[in-house]
């Protein structure tokens, strides 16, 4: 160990190559998406004569986890990279859900309009537009003001959904959503098999896009804003413009996530815009760790499984245990589950040398 | 000689307090100018108005002949005005190399690139490495900024400002709080800055001021008290009284 100097520990290559290498795909990323694909493939196990007891019947749950992960990812983009706290991402999620739901309901039969992919694009566009329109509010004030403003926007949207009964169906939710086959080919089935692959592909594409973004020069300028907005301005970073852009983008992604949920469950309800959506998804990012992109995805897996598991044991008090885990995580771990794992990995590497 | 930075009748009032009192000031190209004054003289307030962090109550500011009084911090930065901060304003979670490249990217309009990985432009990375090395940061390129020694952080303050290739650089107490052992490094760096950059140094440290500055302005109670060459200021009995004298008393 003593023979290893700091010089030897530096990665090889020119500084440019080293920086670019930081954006390369790692083994644990392949592992993560590999596991996701395996979960999907498990649906074929019964046909081959294997008996995997849990997974095939949980297709809908797995799709939901991925969708919540995408919503959390959109928060991570704001919080983990640009340093924007938001407690209103549920609003964009709900707007996306209703947009896609309404398109599927009223567009059913009208071939191009009813296509789910078009529905998702519309969900992203509408949510992104509302995000853009409200982004000017988040430029004002400190973190606390932002938290309140985003919460306020979410509450307004929630109330609008409840009041506009003729369009949204009010508290009964949007009935009669019929998702057409994807690209006119793949029908949604009762077991959520198509829904799972559809969700996985959409979530992966959105993730891939965000991953390119945060590792680009643009992404690093966002990190600079998070690190120190005063300094970022002084070196010429258009701080306000960048914040508006990233907030709008995050809103669009949240809208796509909402659209996915409406399409795969063929339903949209005020529950999808409710405050707990925003709060839960923020919790998922904090559980998983902000600023890694995977934090939200892993957080949603852990959160949802914990919710499922705990509410089976103690239907009334499961939130109590969620609270306990959250307090412990925040107290003892710096960056959520990923922070915990990466600390363990670097410790074992250090010990190996 | 051409004037790169100029203020005309600059005033800044905070309620009943006049922090900047009718300051008319000219900075010629290539200047090595120091701005001194006792505590609370309004030096940092003045710099904050020059860089656009604060808007003046009245008066105007010209940068390279253009009226920039109403311009944002960013617009002034892109027009060639850079500054460092008295209290470090750095990106704690990034590395010095990343911090400098981010600044270069903005200068080159390369920060709009959202698809290619950060650091793809070899020319810009090479420039950042060279700049870092010229400021004695070569050995800490990949460390986390937040865990750098204080002296290195002060050097990085200057490096990030220089990355914008400014025509005017405002150095707000670059040696403030730097331990004696590391101070020389900062002095050498400041002394070695290229002549194409016009410098304004705001400083308490008289060693640094007289070693570096050719001309000096003394600010007292927000107003320009006296201006002149370094020798004139050093000899001026009034300056001794309001500033150097006070220093002697406070140290005595």
Count other Cβ atoms within 10 Å, centred on residue A236.
Answer: 25
Highest mean pLDDT among A263-277, B136-150, B230-244: B136-150
Count other Cβ atoms within 10 Å, centred on residue B54.
Answer: 17
pLDDT one-digit tens code per residue, A206-228:
999 999 999 999 999 999 999 99
What are the angstrom distances between the C-alpha of B115 and each of A20, B47, B111? 12, 37, 10
Residue A5 banded pLDDT, cuts 50, 70, 90: very low
Residue A97 banded pLDDT, cuts 50, 70, 90: very high
What are the angstrom distances between the C-alpha of A168 and each of A113, A127, A165, A262, A279? 19, 16, 5, 13, 23
Kindly report the nearest CA distance between residue B53 and chain A, in angstroms. 9
What is the rounded distance in angstroms from the CA atom of residue B150 to the CA atom of residue A327? 34
Give the 3-state secondary structure of residue B224: strand
How many residues in chain B?
252
Q: What is the mean pLDDT of residues B212-241?
A: 87
- Residues facing B226 on adjacent strands: B218
Structure tokens at A4: 């290893």
Is the Cβ pair B113, A220 closer than 8 Å? no
Q: What is the mean pLDDT of residues A340-347?
A: 84
Contacts of A258 (CB under 8 A, 6+ apart): A71, A92, A93, A94, A95, A96, A97, A98, A99, A100, A123, A127, A272
B111: nearest CB among A15, A20, A217: A217
Instruction: Return the pLDDT at A293.
Output: 92
Is the Cβ pair A16, B125 closer than 8 Å? yes
Q: pTM for the complete prediction?
A: 0.89
Interface test with chain B among A236, A237, A245, by most B beta carbons within 10 Å: A236
Instruction: Return the pLDDT at A75.
Output: 95
Judging contacts by C-beta atoms under 8 Å, the chain A residues touching residue B106 are 221, 235-237
Contacts of A269 (CB under 8 A, 6+ apart): A172, A173, A174
Structure tokens at A35: 């596991």
pLDDT of B252 above 70: no
Q: What is the mean pLDDT of residues B168-179?
A: 89
Judging contacts by C-beta atoms under 8 Å, the chain B residues touching residue A16 are 119-122, 125-126
Helix and strand counts by DSSP (H, E) for chain B: 10, 10
Kindly report the nearest CA distance between residue A4 and chain B, in angstroms. 17
- Map out the domains of chain B with their CATH numbers: 3-89+165-251 (3.40.50.300)
Kindly report the nearest CA distance between residue A206 and chain B, in angstroms. 14
Lowest mean pLDDT among A42-46, A301-305, A344-348, B57-61: A42-46
Helix and strand counts by DSSP (H, E) for chain A: 16, 0
Judging contacts by C-beta atoms under 8 Å, the chain A residues touching residue B51 are 234
Kindly report the nearest CA distance between residue B57 and chain A, in angstroms. 21
Q: What are phi and psi of A114, to 5 degrees?
A: -90, -5
B106: nearest CB among A10, A20, A236: A236
What are the angstrom distances between the C-alpha of A61 and each of A193, A195, A222, B24, B72? 11, 11, 34, 70, 50
Q: What is the mean pLDDT of residues B69-87?
A: 92
Contacts of B22 (CB under 8 A, 6+ apart): B9, B10, B11, B59, B223
Judging contacts by C-beta atoms under 8 Å, the chain A residues touching residue B160 are 231, 235
Give the 3-state secondary structure of residue B117: strand
Residue B243 banded pLDDT, cuts 50, 70, 90: low
**Which ipTM was obtained for this model?**
0.88
**Which B positions 230-249 lie with beta carbon below 8 A of chain A?**
none
Q: What is the mean pLDDT of residues A118-122?
A: 92
**Which B positions 93-122 lie with beta carbon below 8 A of chain A?**
93-94, 97-99, 101-103, 105-107, 110-122
Instruction: Return the pLDDT at B209.
Output: 86
pLDDT one-digit tens code per residue, A149-178:
899 999 999 989 888 888 887 777 888 787
Q: What is the mean pLDDT of residues A257-277?
A: 90
Kindly report the nearest CA distance between residue B144 and chain A, in angstroms. 12
Q: What is the mean pLDDT of residues B93-116?
A: 93
Long-range CB contact pairs, B109-115, < 8 A, 24+: B110/A217, B111/A217, B111/A218, B111/A220, B111/A221, B111/A237, B112/A217, B112/A218, B113/A216, B113/A217, B113/A218, B114/A212, B114/A213, B114/A216, B114/A217, B114/A218, B114/A219, B115/A212, B115/A216
Report the b/e string of A15-51 with b at 16+ CB within 10 A: bbebbbeebeeeeeeeeebeebeebbebbeeeeeeee
pLDDT of A6 above 60: no
Instruction: Return the pLDDT at A8.
Output: 45
Q: Which chain A residue shows the shortest CA-CA distance from B159?
A: A235
pLDDT of B106 above 80: yes
What is the rounded distance in angstroms from the CA atom of residue B188 to the CA atom of residue B175? 11
Instruction: Return the pLDDT at B244.
Output: 55
> Is it true that domain A6-352 has CATH number 1.10.3470?
yes
Instruction: Return the pLDDT at B250.
Output: 45
What is the rounded distance in angstroms from the CA atom of residue A57 to the CA atom of residue A39? 11
Contacts of A127 (CB under 8 A, 6+ apart): A92, A93, A95, A96, A99, A251, A252, A254, A255, A256, A258
Residue A342 banded pLDDT, cuts 50, 70, 90: confident
Query: E strand or H helix at B18, and its extent?
Result: strand B17-28
Instruction: Return the pLDDT at A4.
Output: 42
Sheet strands side by side (includes B215-220): B81-83, B168-172, B198-202, B32-36, B215-220, B223-229
Contacts of A339 (CB under 8 A, 6+ apart): A289, A333
What is the rounded distance in angstroms from the CA atom of residue A154 to the CA atom of residue A149? 9
Lowest mean pLDDT among A85-94, A106-115, A252-261, B220-229: A106-115
What is the rounded distance in angstroms from the CA atom of residue A60 to the CA atom of residue A191? 7
What is the rounded distance in angstroms from the CA atom of residue B49 to the CA atom of residue B221? 16
Handedness of CA A253, A255, A260, A265 (dihedral sign): positive
Count other Cβ atoms within 10 Å, centred on residue B165.
Answer: 16
Structure tokens at B56: 């003046």
Interface test with chain A among B47, B49, B50, B74, by most A beta carbons within 10 Å: B74
């Amino acid at each position: 160990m003593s023979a290893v100097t700091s010089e030897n520990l530096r990665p090889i290559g020119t500084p440019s190559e080293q920086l670019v290498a930081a954006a390369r795909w790692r083994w644990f990323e392949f592992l993560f998406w590999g596991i996701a694909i395996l979960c999907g493939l498990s649906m074929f196990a019964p046909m081959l004569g294997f008996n995997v007891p849990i997974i095939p019947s949980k297709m809908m749950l797995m799709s939901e986890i991925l969708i919540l992960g995408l919503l959390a990812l959109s928060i991570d983009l704001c919080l983990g990279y640009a340093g924007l706290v938001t407690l209103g991402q549920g609003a964009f999620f709900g707007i996306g859900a209703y947009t896609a739901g309404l398109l599927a309901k009223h567009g059913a039969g009208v071939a191009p309009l009813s296509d789910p992919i078009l529905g998702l694009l519309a969900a992203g566009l509408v949510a992104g537009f509302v995000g853009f329109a409200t982004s000017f509010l988040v430029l004002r004030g400190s973190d606390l003001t932002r938290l309140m403003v985003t919460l306020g926007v979410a509450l307004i949207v929630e109330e609008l959904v409840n009041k506009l009964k003729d369009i949204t169906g009010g508290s009964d939710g949007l009935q009669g959503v019929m998702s057409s086959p994807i690209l006119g080919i793949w029908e949604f089935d009762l077991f959520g098999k198509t829904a799972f692959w559809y969700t996985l592909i959409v979530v992966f594409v959105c993730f891939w896009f965000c991953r390119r973004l945060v590792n680009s020069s643009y992404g690093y300028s966002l990190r600079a804003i998070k690190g120190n907005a005063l300094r970022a301005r002084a070196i010429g970073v258009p701080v306000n413009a960048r914040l508006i852009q990233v907030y709008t983008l995050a809103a669009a992604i949240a809208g796509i996530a909402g659209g996915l949920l409406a399409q795969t469950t063929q339903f949209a309800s005020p529950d999808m815009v409710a405050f707990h959506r925003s709060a839960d998804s923020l919790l998922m990012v904090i559980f998983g760790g902000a600023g890694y992109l995977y934090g939200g995805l892993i957080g949603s897996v852990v959160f949802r499984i914990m919710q499922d598991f705990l509410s089976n044991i103690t239907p009334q008090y499961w939130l109590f245990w969620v609270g306990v885990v959250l307090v412990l995580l925040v107290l003892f771990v710096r960056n959520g589950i990923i922070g915990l794992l990466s600390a363990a990995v670097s410790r074992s590497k250090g010990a190996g040398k | 000689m051409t004037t790169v930075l100029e203020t005309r009748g600059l005033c800044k009032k905070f309620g009943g307090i006049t922090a900047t009192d009718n300051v008319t000031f000219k900075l010629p190209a290539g200047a090595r100018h120091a701005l001194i004054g006792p505590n609370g003289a309004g030096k940092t307030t003045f710099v904050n108005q020059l860089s656009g962090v604060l808007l003046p109550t009245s008066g105007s500011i010209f940068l390279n002949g253009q009226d920039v009084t109403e311009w944002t911090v960013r617009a002034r930065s892109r027009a060639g005005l850079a500054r460092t901060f008295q209290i470090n304003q750095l990106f704690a979670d990034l590395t010095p190399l990343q911090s400098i490249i981010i600044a270069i990217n903005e200068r080159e309009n390369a920060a709009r690139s959202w698809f290619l990985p950060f650091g793809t432009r070899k020319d810009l990375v090479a420039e950042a490495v060279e700049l870092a090395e010229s400021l004695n940061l070569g050995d800490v390129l990949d460390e986390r900024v937040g865990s750098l020694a204080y002296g290195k952080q002060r050097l990085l303050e200057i490096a990030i400002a220089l990355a914008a290739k400014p025509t005017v650089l405002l150095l707000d107490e670059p040696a403030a709080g730097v331990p004696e052992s590391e101070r020389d490094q900062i002095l050498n760096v400041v002394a070695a800055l290229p002549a194409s950059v016009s410098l304004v140094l705001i400083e308490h440290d008289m060693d640094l001021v007289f070693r570096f500055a050719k001309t000096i302005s003394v600010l007292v109670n927000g107003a320009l008290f006296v201006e002149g060459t370094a020798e004139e200021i050093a000899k001026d009995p009034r300056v001794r009284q309001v500033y150097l004298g006070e220093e002697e008393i406070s140290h005595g």
